[in-house]
């Protein structure tokens, strides 16, 4: 991820994939580096919901929109510094529009819904609802003609989402606010559309895209915070600071740098399976940090999740599964 990306490169950081055939093959069959980045992204992202709960619920120092806005504005600044140091080319024209839209959906919309929901539902359940992202991405990609219909994609997503549902079926006996559930689903829709925006517009270096995107999303979150009348305060508690530092460095810089890196080398539907792998990681962290229990439902659900992810995202697909780049304007630049 470090180095200069030529301004006219078709797909950044994709080696020698300079033909339409090579790009489609690489998108359908990820290389080892892409899979390693994917796993690191999932493991790091697993702690995000737990950290958000600490900040807005357990310590109660920061209101949700202000907590999200300060997180992403600071992360945007750090991304910009890193991008400059790496001599990454910042987007212009349509690429700039795409980066702003990516930020509006992925950071502004998705995290406005997510932070608001996580104040009212626990971290694990929030991640389970976000596990609907692969299904939503699959549907939106079909509607927007970015990908062709695949039965293994649909069945894999259904298995994975079913597995995450089983994990919590044993322990969910309390009443859940409908507005919070709808907000979590709204977050999933924004995440899905944000991924498709990246595929629709000309490619941008991951560092530069996240600097612009987080800045745009952070500005939207700051506006929401101001509209809500939230106090703009600096936290005092050590736990709050630790959680916010984790969210900025690990949960923002690392996770979304890896996210765009993987997304530019793989299909949007395949990358979206991160959302069905994150819940088991979140549950393990919740057990460790918040004394939540692990049941047989968790183990059985985890098996379903892994089978679904393999079948829907990792199983090698044919070259015809993805719409050719010349059939979808500007997907590959």
Rounded Cα–Cα distance for residues 103 and 106 (Å): 5
How far from the centroid of its chain's Cα atoms is residue 116's Cα? 17
CB atoms closer than 10 angstroms to residue 8: 8
Q: Is the pLDDT of residue 136 over 50?
A: yes
Mean pLDDT of 43-52: 87
Most confident of 43-57, 58-72, 241-255: 241-255
Give the model's pLDDT for residue 229: 93
Rounded Cα–Cα distance for residues 202 and 89 (Å): 13
Which DSSP letter does residue 4 get?
A: P
Q: Which position has the higher pLDDT, 325 or 197?
A: 197
Q: Per residue in 63-105, pLDDT tens?
A: 899 999 999 999 999 999 999 999 999 999 999 999 999 999 9
Single out the residue of 179, 184, 152 nearest to residue 168, CA to CA. 184
Instruction: Provide the percentage of residues in the chain whose pLDDT is more than 90.
Output: 29
**Is 245 in contact with 172 (CB distance < 8 Å)?**
no
CA distances to 11, 154, 199 from 330, rounded to whole Å, are: 11, 25, 8
Single out the residue of 208, 63, 185 nearest to residue 127, CA to CA. 185
Encoded tokens for 232: 């703009």
Q: Is the pLDDT of residue 328 over 80?
A: no
CB atoms closer than 10 angstroms to residue 87: 12
**Dihedral, CA atoms, 222, 226, 229, 234, nearest 10 degrees?**
50
Encoded tokens for 241: 């600071």
End-to-end CA distance of the chain: 19
Q: Is the pLDDT of residue 142 over 90?
A: no
Instruction: Provide the percentage of residues in the chain whose pLDDT is more than 70.
Output: 78
Which DSSP letter does residue 215 get?
A: H
Encoded tokens for 143: 């509607």
Give the model's pLDDT for residue 226: 96
Give the model's pLDDT for residue 315: 67
Which DSSP letter does residue 221 get?
A: H
Give the model's pLDDT for residue 169: 66
DSSP 72-94: HHHHHHHHHHHHHHTTPPPP-HH
Q: Per residue in 171-220, pLDDT tens?
A: 555 566 778 888 988 999 999 999 888 888 898 898 999 999 999 999 99
CA distances to 67, 85, 315 from 268, rounded to whole Å, are: 28, 29, 15
Would the CA dihedral through 95, 97, 100, 106 be positive or negative? negative
The overall average pLDDT reported for the chain is 78
**What pTM, to 2 d.p., does this model score?**
0.75
Q: Which of 116-120, 181-185, 193-197, 280-284 has the lowest mean pLDDT?
A: 280-284
Would the CA dihedral through 295, 298, 299, 300 be positive or negative? positive
Mean pLDDT of 54-58: 69
Encoded tokens for 169: 């079926």
**Is 256 in contact with 208 (CB distance < 8 Å)?**
no
Q: Which position has the higher pLDDT, 52 or 322?
A: 52
Domain boundaries, the chain: 31-321
Rounded Cα–Cα distance for residues 290 and 233 (Å): 26
Q: Which of 8-12, 16-20, 85-89, 310-314 has the lowest mean pLDDT?
A: 8-12
């Amino acid at each position: 991820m470090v180095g200069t990306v030529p301004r006219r490169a078709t797909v950044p950081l994709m080696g020698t994939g300079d033909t339409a055939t090579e790009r489609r093959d690489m998108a359908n069959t990820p290389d080892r580096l892409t899979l390693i980045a994917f796993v690191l992204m999932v493991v790091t992202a697993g702690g995000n919901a737990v950290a958000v709960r600490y900040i807005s619920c357990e310590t109660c120092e920061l209101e949700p929109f202000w907590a999200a806005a300060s997180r992403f504005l600071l992360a945007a600044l750090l991304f910009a510094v890193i991008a400059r140091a790496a001599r990454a080319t910042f987007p212009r024209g349509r690429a700039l529009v795409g980066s702003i839209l990516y930020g509006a959906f992925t950071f502004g919309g998705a995290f406005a819904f997510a932070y608001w929901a996580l104040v009212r539902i626990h971290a694990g359940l929030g991640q389970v609802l976000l596990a609907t992202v692969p299904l939503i991405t699959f549907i939106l990609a079909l509607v927007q003609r970015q990908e062709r219909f695949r039965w293994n994609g649909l069945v894999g997503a259904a298995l994975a989402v079913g597995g995450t549902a089983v994990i919590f079926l044993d322990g969910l006996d309390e009443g859940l606010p409908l507005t919070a559930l709808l907000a979590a689903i709204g977050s999933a829709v924004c995440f899905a559309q944000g991924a498709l925006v990246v595929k629709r517009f000309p490619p941008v270096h991951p560092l530069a895209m996240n600097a612009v995107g987080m800045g745009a999303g952070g500005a939207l979150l700051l506006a929401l915070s101001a509209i809500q009348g939230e106090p703009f305060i600096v936290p005092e508690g050590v736990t709050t600071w630790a959680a916010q530092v984790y969210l900025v460095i690990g949960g923002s810089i690392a996770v979304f740098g890896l996210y765009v890196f993987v997304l530019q080398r793989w299909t949007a539907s395949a990358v979206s399976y991160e959302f069905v792998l994150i819940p088991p990681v979140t549950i393990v962290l919740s057990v460790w940090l918040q004394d939540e229990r692990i049941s047989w439902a968790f183990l059985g659900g985890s098996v379903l999740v892994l089978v679904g992810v393999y079948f829907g995202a990792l199983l090698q697909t044919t070259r015809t599964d993805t719409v050719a780049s010349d059939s979808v304007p500007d997907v590959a630049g």
